[in-house]
Amino acid sequence: MYELFYYPGNASLAPHFVLEEIGAPFELRLVDRTVNGQKDPEYMARNPMGRIPTLIDGDFVLFESAAICLHLADRHPQSGLAPPIGTAERARLYQWLMFLTNTIQPDFMAFYYPEQYTTDAAGAAEVKTAAERRLDAAYAVINEALERGGPYLLGANVSVADFFLLMLVAWGAAQTHAPTTLAGIRRCAELIAKRPAVQRAAATEGHKTLF
């Protein structure tokens, strides 16, 4: 049985979606951020950066949300959430998942925690504004691809990248220009949000709405 260390609405949300989608048995382990549970020595022995999520798969421990999503898709190929290794479709999955985790996700950190990205407290507002501009530009790239070849990031086929995108879309609700104002992104997010697996995960985490 899998164990997912999570906190509601954090980067554990995408792996939570995927665990529900593949239908494998799993248990959720709350890491209470309100008391800095992610910095507890026992937790940091599993995740040395003290971040959420962490997945336990038997004796195997894995952190980083995107890596967990890929691992689960590969462990459960019958779910169809990742194309076969070596195909062009698989390479496209890598492209979008890396774009989401390497380009968009870090800018959300700067958007929500700008004070961590400057030694000058007076400059935090500018850090947040710059991060939001980069987010807008990145979402425009995704939206163009979805409008040209959607409804999902791999075209007609759902993949773990779409679940990851939905998590980021949920985070973007606080932006001046929410990503769901873009038609392609909204269509993809709505399709994924309607899936029973996603609705179960959202209900478990206490989300009345994701965006």
Residue 211 lies in a domain: no
Mean pLDDT of 89-105: 98
φ/ψ of residue 19, rounded to 5: -60, -40
Q: Residue 7: is its pLDDT beyond 90?
A: yes
- Residue 121 pLDDT exceeds 90: no
Element holding 94 (H helix, E strand): helix 88-98
For 199, what's the count of Cα atoms within 13 Å in the CB-facing half-sphere? Answer: 5
What are the pLDDT digits (tens) for 33-92? 999 999 999 999 999 999 999 999 999 999 999 999 999 999 999 999 999 999 999 999
pLDDT tens, residue by residue, 136-186: 999 999 999 999 999 999 999 999 999 999 999 999 999 999 999 999 999
Say yes or no: 94 and 178 in one domain.
yes
**Spatial separation of the C-alpha atoms in residues 120 and 80, rounded to whole Å:** 47
Q: Which tokens sit at 204? A: 């478990």
Count the domains in the chain: 2
With contact defined as beta carbons under 8 Å apart, do 10 and 53 qualify?
yes
Is 106 in the same domain as 166? Answer: yes
The SS3 assignment for 134 reads: helix
Model confidence at 122: pLDDT above 90: no
Angstrom distance (rounded) from CA 79 to CA 15: 14
CATH assignment of the domain containing 62:
3.40.30.10
- Per-residue burial over 68-107, b if 16 or more Cβ lie within 10 Å, else e, is bbbbbbeebeebebbbeeeeeeeebbeebbebbbeebbeb
Return d(Cα 169, Cα 76) in angstroms, integer: 25
Instruction: Say if residue 76 is in the same domain as residue 17.
Output: yes
Distance from C-alpha of 42 to C-alpha of 95, rounded to nearest angstrom: 34
CA distance readout (Å), 84 to 7, 64, 159, 178: 31, 22, 12, 33
pLDDT band of 102, cuts 50, 70, 90? very high
Write out the residue range of the structural domain in which residue 127 sits.
Answer: 88-195
